[in-house]
Amino acid sequence: MTEATDPYVLSTEAGARLLAGAPWKRIAVIGDSISAGIREAVPGYQDLSWVDRISAVLRRVHPDLDEIRLARRDLTLTEIRRTQLRPALDFRPDLVFLSGGGNDFIRPGFDPATVRAELTEIVSRVRATGADILTIGMLDISRAGIVSAKHAEAIGRATRIVTRITREVAREHGAIFASFTDHPLCADAGIYCGDGLHLNCRGQAFEAAEKMRALAAHLAARSEAA
């Protein structure tokens, strides 16, 4: 399979049609390694991160698109807020992409209340500026058979806790939410890197497509409400 025939992938042209008329001209990317697009090459797929793909689509809509990428791997939500939120807001984005929470639950002392508080602070401050923010429910990697049986149940449970909290915070503050947690492709080991944690280039293409579909659904709902 290549990306041209992959039903889970959108080409730049298809993405541009889907997001035709999108208003976003300044995007900020904050978060952990998911936002940073850590990846491995896959034959038949372009070596692009999910944000590379979305940027290419939005540049078809707005050639003057500007962006700032602040995401760094290995950060908790507290670290994301402390190091990235202010620079992101100073950029004056109209669309922010955020992923976070995975590093919170793989470290000792996982506290869902802290996850909720940090997500609420980040999302509410972005929304207070009038910008949109897209948050995600992480893929449940425990379903792909790439996590040791010893840890799979705990990872699956923690992933769902963070996904639920993220969904609730997004709903409370009018953010855009794209959930990957129960997507059927979660169980396909062929979308992951050799480290068993990150998405390879096929997975990045899939992530980009799902986020673009979430953005398009948001625009459609906004249009219907107007």
Beta-carbon count within 10 A of 60 CB: 17
Q: What is the mean pLDDT of residues 103-118?
A: 94
Q: What is the pLDDT of residue 141?
A: 92
Domains and CATH numbers, the chain: 12-225 (3.40.50.1110)
CA-CA distance, 85 to 13, in Å (whole number)?
A: 32
CA-CA distance, 206 to 185, in Å (whole number)?
A: 9
CA-CA distance, 188 to 155, in Å (whole number)?
A: 17
CA-CA distance, 10 to 54, in Å (whole number)?
A: 10
**Between 89 and 226, whose confidence is greater?**
89
Please say if the pLDDT value at position 178 is more than 80: yes
Q: Which amino acid is at 14?
A: A
Could you tell me the pLDDT band of residue 1, with boundaries at 50, 70 and 90? Answer: confident
Q: What is the pLDDT of residue 32?
A: 97
